[in-house]
A and B are shown apart, each in its own frame.
Chain A
Amino acid sequence: MSFTVVKAQPGGELPGGEALTWSDGGLGRREFLRRACIIAAGVVGLPSSAAAKMYEETVVKGKKPSVIWLHFQECTGCTESLLRAEHPPLDDLLLDLISLDYHETLLAAAGKQAEAARTQAMRANAGKYILVVEGAIPMKDNGIYCKVGGKTAVEILNECAAQAGAIIAIGSCASWGGIPSSDPNPTGAVGVTGALKGKTVVTIPGCPANPYNFLGTALQFATFGTLPALDSKGRPKFAYGRTIHEDCPRRPHFDAGRFALKYGDQGHRDGWCLYQLGCKGPVTHANCSLQPFGEVPGAWPIGIGHPCFGCTEQFVGFSIAQSTTVPIENPTPSTTFAAVNSGGGKMGVAAVGVGGAILGAVVSAGYKFSTTLDAEEPSADEEA
């Protein structure tokens, strides 16, 4: 695919009559954003008309959703992966698609100034802003293990959630506690769902979460004021409705019974199924194979020869050892198919002889019997 290079002056017009405000000699910026919206809409399973609406609302009308992004017990991996989203790139995302009013990693402000930005955004967009939480919330000892600006994580969370239009927990830590909640869980870490009882929380688990699963959800809310359909754990069904195993590119090897048994063995080198190495694909719900990270196909654990870790699944990721195999959740075809076109079966001479002789004997005996009936004189009673 090639794009026409459009050299245009600020304020100039594209051949399509669309106003052009920015160009670096490549794809027009607005066109670029339109495509970003199409991708984001596509991720949530919305039609292309929805993408047009997203574009209309956010770019043309400038109604950008206000986003307040909180960091608690985490590694900032989810933010890092969002920073590396190509469609749209971070600057377009921040400047045109959303209004990121508070984000500790990306803030220019610091100290009291930063806290003021948060409270001001909350006041200005009360009931409408999107609250994004990254990281687990420590509950033990009144939550003293994570503090920002003198307040504990749970205090900040409650304050921000009270007036939020939508709450999105990004990453496994925010979804159910992730790594911080692993045994022995010294800080009593829980996810947003655990800290905010009774509130609808969209969870986008993953370590890190796929940025498109997040963007699709956020832009759907910004455009239509609705949230995608969620499963019982608050995960959007468009992304977490199926297991890794169901859409795994190595699935044919599983069905055919071809397994890598050791790291580096011939099966492993040949790209065979990683189940025997402890792959958690059969019990892990996520769309990793369908929506590549950073638009690089194959850039995910199974794609590079590592068994799935189960990072999107509570009680699997960070809970079950990597080498432990898991039960298969859905029934699967047999692994003992006979080889194709190998030929086989028995057809013994004796068997054919015996079979033929018996059939012949029965038929000829029947015929002979019928001829003896022919010879019989019809008696009175049978002509009655």
Chain B
Amino acid sequence: MSHATAPVGGRILTKPMLVLLGLFGLAAALLLWRFIQGLGAVTAMSDRYPWGLWIAYDVVTGTALACGGYALAILIYILNKGRFHPLIRSAILTSALGYTLGGFSVIVDLGRFWNVWKVPTLFWKWNFSSILLEVALCIMAYMFVLWIELAPAFLEGAKAAGNPKLRRLAEKTLGPLEKAMPFIVALGLLLPTMHQSSLGSLMMLAGQKVHPLWQTPLLPLLFLISCICMGYGVVVLESALSSTYFGLPRETPLLRRLGRVVAPLLGLYLVLRLGDLAIHGKLGLIFTSGFFSVLFLAEMALFVTPIVMFYTEAKPKLGQLFRGAMMIVLAGALYRFSTFLVAFRPSKGWVYFPSVGETLITVGLIAGEIAAYIFVVKKFPILQSRPRRATVRRLGADVIDRLPIPSTAPASGD
């Protein structure tokens, strides 16, 4: 590896960490209630809206946000852009956490969750025409692939640790793992391609229940393209946030290049999205659908603005990149929420909005995800180690404690 990574170090139980754990604890209590009393006690889901926030956010949007690892892997391993490599480990970590959250949420969302073990095991009963089966198997498999991709970081951490037994085990495992890595990476490229597009196919099956502005045979392709965009967006957000909070070197030039990569992809999405509407003679619906027109135009605005931002400025600052990335992420999230919930109209007179319980569970699970991220980067070599010479920016000194410069950092990172 050309770049050096090191654990960030520092105290684990900081104040923000306690807040995050508190939110997670609240979610855990609500989850307990959900498992004892059933879905109806906690959620606003109904016979006509059997998929609520947990599917629309945790699974569909959450795994798309977790596509940073996938999107970067395409760049690095398929397009051979090695210069993006410094970003990959933290992207894989967010991906692994995001997919784990998605996988866990599926179990929370299943009415008869105790049957879930049958999905991967009773393979002779698989229905190969089922998109849902493909999504379930792919997400489960990809979750494992991501943790295996991340394993070297943990093993390196174990090697650096004092325990000699652990060190010997890590030294033994690392070699074979590095050899197997190309195949695991290849699998890690295939699986998201399959299931991220299939998440779109799921709603294609809903037919006329989805508003015509969103219902199209291109749903799988649009879901795939937008998830890659969101992956890049999240990489930018995560890099900016972690470099700020952990006082690490900025990666602005790399993030700028990512902006150059994502802008044409956003353009491709728009061309396909609008071209599809034009071919099917549905352009008029953009202005005649009332509430759905507003929803659609908001989505378009969120997709168009980042392109403009990344192209009008020759050298956008990190703040601009951050706003652009936020918009990309919101655009993709809005597109997913629209397709799965807002523009999904199962029957006249039926409404759905996530209940307080549902929302708090999702918020708590995200808080847990962030807590896990902070824990892992502090303990294991995930982030770039070269300390930033500029003053460590501390947003609200009471929120984030000052972090020590890691002692394991090599003299030169380049």
A positions within 8 Å CB-CB of B: 337-338, 340-348, 350-352, 354-355, 358, 363, 366-367, 369-384
Contact = CB atoms under 8 A, between A and B. Distances in A.
A147 to B, nearest CB: 55
Contact of B48 (A345, A355, A366): A345
Contacts of B360: 354
A380 B395 CA distance: 21
Interface stretch (B68-76, B217-225, B287-295, B382-390): B382-390
Contacts of A380: 389
Contacts of B356: 348, 350-351, 354
Nearest to B47: A338
B240 A341 contact: no
Interface stretch (B4-12, B99-107, B258-266, B346-354): B346-354
Interface stretch (B131-139, B186-194, B195-203, B249-257): B249-257
Contacts of A366: 237, 322-323, 326
A378 B252 CA distance: 9
Contact of A358 (B48, B252, B363, B389): B363
Contacts of B15: none
B318 interface: yes
Given A370-B322, A374-B320, A342 B349 contact: yes
A347 B319 contact: no
26 contacts: A338-B48, A341-B347, A341-B348, A341-B349, A343-B348, A344-B351, A345-B48, A347-B351, A347-B352, A348-B353, A352-B353, A354-B356, A354-B360, A355-B354, A358-B363, A366-B322, A366-B326, A367-B323, A370-B320, A376-B319, A379-B388, A381-B249, A381-B250, A382-B318, A383-B252, A383-B253
Nearest to A346: B44
A383 to B, nearest CB: 7
Contacts of B323: 366-367, 370
A342 B351 CA distance: 11
Given A350-B356, A373-B318, A383-B253, A345 B326 contact: no
B240 A373 contact: yes
Contacts of A381: 249-250, 386, 388-390
Given A369-B395, A379-B390, 9 more contacts: A343-B349, A346-B353, A355-B353, A367-B323, A373-B322, A379-B389, A381-B249, A382-B249, A382-B318
Given A345-B49, A363-B326, A371-B319, A354 B359 contact: yes
Interface of B: 44, 46-49, 237, 240-241, 244, 249-253, 317-320, 322-323, 326, 330, 347-356, 358-360, 363, 386, 388-390, 393, 395
Contacts of B253: 382-384
B241 A382 contact: no
Contacts, number: 119
Nearest to B40: A346
A346 B349 contact: no
B350 A343 contact: yes
Nearest to A380: B389
B370 to A, nearest CB: 12
B319 A345 contact: no
Nearest to A348: B355
A378 B355 CA distance: 44
A351 B353 contact: yes
Contacts of B330: 363
Contacts of B244: 369, 373
Contacts of A344: 46-48, 349-351
Contact of B44 (A341, A342, A345, A379): A345
Contacts of B355: 346, 348, 351
B322 A346 contact: no
B386 to A, nearest CB: 7
Contact of A374 (B48, B317, B349, B386): B317
A372 B393 contact: yes
Contacts of A351: 44, 353-356, 358-359
B319 A382 contact: no
A344 B349 CA distance: 6
A374 B47 contact: no
Contacts of A350: 356
Contacts of A373: 240, 244, 317-319, 322
Contacts of A382: 249-253, 318
B353 A340 contact: no
A337 B240 CA distance: 49
A142 to B, nearest CB: 51
Contacts of A345: 44, 46, 48-49, 350-352
Contacts of B240: 369, 373
Contacts of A377: 390
A43 to B, nearest CB: 34
What are the 5 A-B residue pairs with the smallest beta carbon separation, nearest first? A343-B349, A374-B319, A373-B319, A382-B250, A379-B390
Nearest to B53: A355
A381 B384 CA distance: 13
A370 B240 CA distance: 9
A369 B353 CA distance: 29
A292 to B, nearest CB: 36
A384 B389 CA distance: 13
A345 B49 CA distance: 8
Contacts of A358: 359, 363
- Which has the most chain B C-beta neighbours within 10 Å: A337, A338, A345, A375? A345
B310 to A, nearest CB: 14
Contacts of B352: 345-347
Nearest to B46: A345
Nearest to A350: B356
A52 B212 CA distance: 52
Residue among A340, A375, A378 having the largest count of chain B Cβ atoms under 10 Å: A378
Contacts of A337: 47
A381 to B, nearest CB: 5
A348 B357 CA distance: 11
Nearest to A365: B395
A346 to B, nearest CB: 4
Contact of B359 (A347, A355, A372): A355
A384 B352 CA distance: 50
Contacts of A340: 347
A262 to B, nearest CB: 29
A381 B414 CA distance: 11
